[in-house]
A = this chain, B = another copy of it.
Amino acid sequence: MAEKVTIATVARHARVSRQTVSNVLNAPHIVRQETRQRVEDAIHALGYRANQAARQMRTGRSRLIAARIDPTRDGINGSVLDRFLHGLTETADAAGYRVLLYTATDDDREIATYGDLLGTYELDAFVLVGTKHGDPRTEWLADRNVPFVTFGRPWDALDAHPWVDVDGAAGTAGATRHLLDAGHRRIAFIGWPVGSGVGDDRRSGWRDALHAAGVDPTGLHRETEDGIAEGERLMRDLLVAATPTAVVCASDSLALGALQAIRGVDPPVSVIGFDDTPVAAAVGLTSVSQPLGEAAARCVDLLTGVLDGDHETPTPVLLQPSLALRHTA
Contacts and interface: CB of A to CB of B under 8 A. Distances in A.
Interface of A: 47, 49-54, 56-57, 62, 64, 69-72, 74-76, 78-79, 81-83, 85-86, 89-90, 93, 98-103, 115-116, 119-122, 228, 253, 256, 277-279, 281-283
Contact of A49 (B56, B86, B119, B277): B119
A162 B126 CA distance: 33
Given A51-B122, A79-B79, A103 B93 contact: yes
A99 B98 contact: no
Nearest to A73: B278
Given A72-B83, A100-B101, 20 more contacts: A51-B120, A52-B53, A52-B120, A52-B122, A53-B53, A54-B57, A64-B100, A69-B85, A69-B89, A72-B82, A75-B282, A78-B82, A79-B79, A86-B103, A93-B103, A98-B101, A99-B100, A278-B279, A282-B283, A283-B283
Nearest to A82: B82
Contact of A121 (B47, B57, B98): B98
B100 A100 contact: yes
Contacts of A228: 282
If over half of A's interface residues share one DSSP class (helix, strand or loop), that class is named, otherwise mixed; here it is helix
Contacts of A69: 82, 85-86, 89
A226 to B, nearest CB: 13
Contact of A256 (B54, B93, B282): B282
Contacts of A121: 52-53, 98
A225 to B, nearest CB: 16
The 7 closest A-B pairs by CB, nearest first: A49-B119, A75-B278, A53-B56, A99-B101, A89-B101, A53-B53, A82-B82
B71 A79 contact: no
A281 B75 contact: yes
Contacts of A75: 79, 277-278, 281-282
Nearest to A66: B98
Nearest to A99: B101
A120 B76 contact: no
7 contacts: A51-B122, A53-B62, A69-B86, A69-B89, A78-B83, A89-B102, A278-B279
Contacts of A93: 102-103
A53 B75 CA distance: 37
B119 A72 contact: no
A70 B86 contact: yes
A76 B119 contact: no
A56 B53 CA distance: 7
A283 to B, nearest CB: 7
B103 A89 contact: yes
Contacts of A256: 282
Residue from A79, A253, A277, A278 having most chain B Cβ neighbours under 10 A:
A278
Residue from A82, A83, A282 having most chain B Cβ neighbours under 10 A:
A282
A228 B86 CA distance: 23
Contacts of A85: 69, 101
Residue from A74, A86, A122 having most chain B Cβ neighbours under 10 A:
A86
Contacts of A49: 115-116, 119-120
